[in-house]
Chain A
Amino acid sequence: MARGSVRGATGMKARAVNLWLLAGIANVLGWASPARAYETEVDASIAAQYYTLSSPWGDPELRRRRYTETLGLAVWNIQGEGDPRGPRLSFQSRLRLDADFGQSSAERALRNPAYIPGLEQAPLGLMYAYLEGQRYLGGHVGFRLGRQYVFDTLGFWSFDGGLVTLSTPVNLLFEAYAGLEQRGGGLPYLGTRRFEAQGVYRGDRNDYDAAYYPLFLDESKVAPAYGFSVEASGFGVLHSRLSYRKVINRDEVNVSPFLDLGDGQYFLSGNRTSSERIGYSLRADSPKLGALNGSVVYDFYNQIFSQYAATADAYVNSRVTVGLSFDRYTPTFDGDSIFNWFSHSPTTSALGRAEVRFSRRLSATLSGGTRWFETEGYSSNYASRPDTSKTGRLFDVSLDGGARYDYGRGSLGLRAGGETGKRGHRLGGDVTARRRFSTRYDGMCLVSLWDWSDALRPDRDATSLGYVLGGGVTPGPNFFARSRFGLELEHQMNRVVGQRFRALLTLDLTVLK
């Protein structure tokens, strides 16, 4: 990257040393090539966290000694030099090690009374790794091959497979993909359970007998998935996207929850729907007036509209935006889960918001409204009038505010908010100050005060005061231009935990060549 700053003799020397180091490392790693077009980016991120948490009854106490490391490798412009509007090929990947050295070995010892199914001390995961091509066949075709994410109305999801995009001259973009849903598992899958549908507890049961933790289901190692989307853009003020996705469970699954108590042993095999949903989103925005957004998701397995949401924002003038939002969400689960049929009622939120930009330096937002929860029948008099055809509602009221002020080399931020209702409240705020001392050093301070009550568990009510002090240093302006070493110390005080301390050490390294 070209940088246009004037350097003194010392700076030039330092730069030369760094360039030499860079060249040396690149040669060692075999990257160096005298006339290449591709760009290589290697980055590593390390976070070490140290804190303790305990059960509501004091024992057991969990020591968290967490160490997370991600390592990313990307190669851009693999296609070589050519028309900047022509085909483009790149590769991106990221590995993650997520270790907790505070775990007790007893928690991972099969048959031990403290055993936790599925608990791993240092799982290694491949977050994503894919080859991507853009603007092929006259600029109309693109593809992705490998482990990748999909972001759409249906949520944030990951699969291993292929995706093809086709853009048309009439501003319609078609996308189709097929592969296997990313599910938990060690080698060779290197997957996380994060993207599996909710409501199922799966893992590796290789060393289990059938009666041991029967509801810890054997992981579905291959779950075929496919989907498509049609996106329309550039039609004046409108932009819309239709997305469909289906995931299939194919493994043999245990259906009896009580095997350990002598019941029979039943298994079900064959293709089963894990999830099948279709979603549509629409945006209409005018830079002069405002924006309307809407989305809806239909769940084919549950046969309900599981989510729908809408927002309307008006740009009152250059400084003020006001808006309304509505969101209705019904929990749905993996098709294998009985929780689908315990799911009754949606949670609905209706909020109003205002955003004011007082100047380039100072802006603030305020939002407030209500969130209501529905029940079949009135909870207050169900005993005397057990009528499930009536819908009962419990209302929470929420108010949130935020402000940010940028000054010279730093910023001051405020975030406050709360929600209160019959089940209790959360109310509080944080003030955060950040400041750069030079191009190399930065510091931050956060003060936080929150109060909460839980109507179902009054013994957990508390007022909590906390603060965080942190700082960071960037090693140098050249080789490690986008790298940083940081340290944060967090201290929380409340009657539930007394004193809770947390130390967070981070190291981010990026090399772009």
Chain B
Amino acid sequence: MKSRLDLLLLSILLSAFLAWCGSTSALAGGKSAPPLPSATFSMGDSLAEALRPPGSFPGDEGPSLVVFPEQSMPLRFNHQKHVKQLGVGCATCHGAAKTSQKSSDSLLPPATRCDGCHGTNHRKLSQVTTDEPRPLGQCNYCHVGYDPARPNLVARVVVPKPNLRFSHQKHVTGQRIACARCHGKVEEVKLATRDQLPRMKECVTCHVLGSGDGSGGTAALNAKAAPGAPAAPRAKASGACTTCHLTDPNGLLTTTFKSGKLLPPPWLHDAGHGADFIERHKMVAGNDSKFCASCHQERFCVGCHDGNVRPRRIHPNDFLSQHAMAARQDNPRCTSCHQQQSFCLTCHQRSGVTMSGPIGNLAKRGRFHPPKSQWTDAPRTAGHHAWEAERNLNACVSCHQERDCASCHATRGVGGPGPSIGVGAGQGINPHPVGFVSRCQQALRQNARPCLTCHLPNDQDLLRCR
């Protein structure tokens, strides 16, 4: 009856939560984002691949929204006409690119730059005038959604500053990198949108990752430009993350922005933080922990590896009840985070499941393993403890101390009788793996303690290893 009530309560809570998830309009304290003007680029308006900047993927939905936040550009503009047909160079409108040293600089041309050809006068934005009667001189020729009934009011162009360090001057003037190298074939498109902004994948052809802070000259020479793109300049380019990415005062990359969380792309050292990265991160961190340290402090790692609060992603549900099965399956590998003879054994002793534990727990203890006839007696059968130890010894070590094993496996004459074995313990049942004899001499020389735990110093078996 009680569990039915629990289930009923659970279903009510679930229903309420799902309803809550669905009610996107009921954001407490939040405001809906204003709808984008029709002329703003949307994800559905994919450009032809050849026109996009080098490094873009087919259907990559533009550059990172975290680095280049969503823009609003309610303008009607045709780069193709201006550049290709009218022969207007990039610098004519974007001249500031030659001197800009910050990514926050606005490189959009001022509206007055249009006046010469369009016959307009944008010097005073609250009183824009025109002496051009043709459409090209009218406000709605360029300003999408312009309402003649509300003169001098146009939708604002919003281009948030990129969350990035970047100097156009270094690249354009210093290294003489062509605009197309980063922005693609702008001269072939109408309105240039976020989709024409550079992709990190192209940046790293010069800024070779891992090449250090300003020492990547050799690597940069090896970089290959994307097909069709202008050749990469032969110059040193730092491969350090902090060359381009913003940093916190502690020197780590800033990863939390209003536009989202900065995460590595899947192609960056195979470190895409997908749903299974927690299982895969061992290989990435083991090979190059400094790469992880670009964003993570040690406290992030020790939260799990030396942690004290059970991470549910690793240990789901009632893990206390199912952990014995998980340990036997070696899934996940317990030793990644736990020292068996301190973390595991102490709790197993307290709960009374160990063989050598507090005397006070012995009376209440039942048999943990299968019956003796199957578990320990000869001959070995499928459920014999020897097989279990061979298939995954770590599971045994989380409960058993050396004496539990030595009682039978030590050679005769070693050890006392043990509590349940009887007089003469040290049954001499050889537990060593195949091929042990070829290794025992060196092992004995490096550390004799395990040998002497089971063998007397004058034991013939031991003498063979001396």
Contacts and interface: CB of A to CB of B under 8 A. Distances in A.
A389 B433 CA distance: 10
A452 B313 contact: no
B464 interface: no
A107 B275 contact: no
A205 interface: no
Interface string A400-424: 1011100111101101000101011
Interface in A325-341: 325, 329, 331, 333, 335-341
A3 B349 CA distance: 53
B6 interface: yes
Interface in A166-196: 167, 169-171, 184, 192-196
A467 B391 contact: no
Contacts of B402: 215, 257, 337-339
B92 interface: no
A13 interface: no
A355 B266 contact: yes
B84 interface: no
Interface string A303-344: 110000101010101110100010001010101111111111
Contact of A383 (B299, B352, B381): B381
Contacts of A478: none
A469 B14 CA distance: 10
Contact of A57 (B213, B364, B369, B406): B364
B448 A263 contact: no
Contact of B65 (A90, A360, A402): A360
A232 B274 CA distance: 27
Interface in A132-169: 135, 139, 149, 151-153, 155-156, 167, 169
A415 B313 contact: yes
Interface string A78-98: 000000010010101010101
Interface centre among B213, B366, B390 (most CB of A within 10 A): B390
Contact residues of A: prevailing secondary structure: strand
A342 B431 contact: yes
B26 to A, nearest CB: 10
Interface in B344-366: 345-347, 349-353, 356-361, 364-366
Interface string B293-322: 000011101100110110011001110111
B95 interface: no
B3 A493 contact: yes
A368 B410 CA distance: 42
Interface centre among A49, A255, A357, A468 (most CB of B within 10 A): A255
A217 to B, nearest CB: 9
B299 A94 contact: yes
A465 B222 CA distance: 56
A60 interface: yes
A121 interface: no
Given A113-B359, A388-B434, A389-B434, A268 B452 contact: yes
Contacts of B30: 409, 438
Nearest to B283: A293
A435 B370 CA distance: 47
A268 B453 CA distance: 10
A23 interface: no
A335 B449 contact: yes
Interface string B1-13: 0110011001001
B360 A355 contact: no
Nearest to A363: B274
A68 B308 contact: yes
Interface string A484-505: 0000000111101101100010
Interface stretch (B109-117, B190-198, B326-334): B326-334
Contacts of A303: 439, 442-443
A112 interface: yes
A480 interface: no
B433 A344 contact: yes
Contact of A394 (B211, B287, B391, B431): B391
Given A113-B360, A171-B212, A428 B316 contact: yes
Contacts of B149: none
Interface centre among B358, B383, B409 (most CB of A within 10 A): B358
Interface stretch (A14-22, A27-35, A282-290): A282-290
Interface in A50-102: 53-60, 62, 66, 68, 70, 72, 74, 76-77, 85, 88, 90, 92, 94, 96, 98
B432 interface: yes
A54 B325 contact: no
B416 A295 contact: no
B459 interface: no
A201 interface: yes
Interface in A217-263: 231, 233-236, 239-241, 249, 253, 255-258, 260-263
B339 interface: yes
B341 A261 contact: no
Contact of B356 (A153, A192, A215, A494): A215
B152 interface: no
Contact of A55 (B208, B213, B343, B353): B353
A475 interface: no
B446 A57 contact: no
B286 interface: yes
A446 interface: yes
Given A57-B364, A68-B308, A500-B318, A363 B287 contact: no
B433 A198 contact: no
A479 interface: no
B148 interface: no
Interface in A425-466: 425-426, 428, 430, 433, 435, 437-439, 441, 445-450, 452-454, 456-457, 460, 462, 464-466
B447 interface: yes
B173 interface: no
Interface stretch (B55-63, B73-81, B175-183): B55-63
Contacts of B306: 127, 156, 192, 194
B4 to A, nearest CB: 11
12 contacts: A1-B249, A135-B213, A231-B288, A257-B401, A291-B270, A301-B447, A319-B59, A338-B402, A357-B274, A360-B65, A462-B321, A493-B3
Q: Closest 6 interchain pairs by CB? A: A402-B275, A261-B416, A318-B57, A113-B360, A373-B391, A234-B211
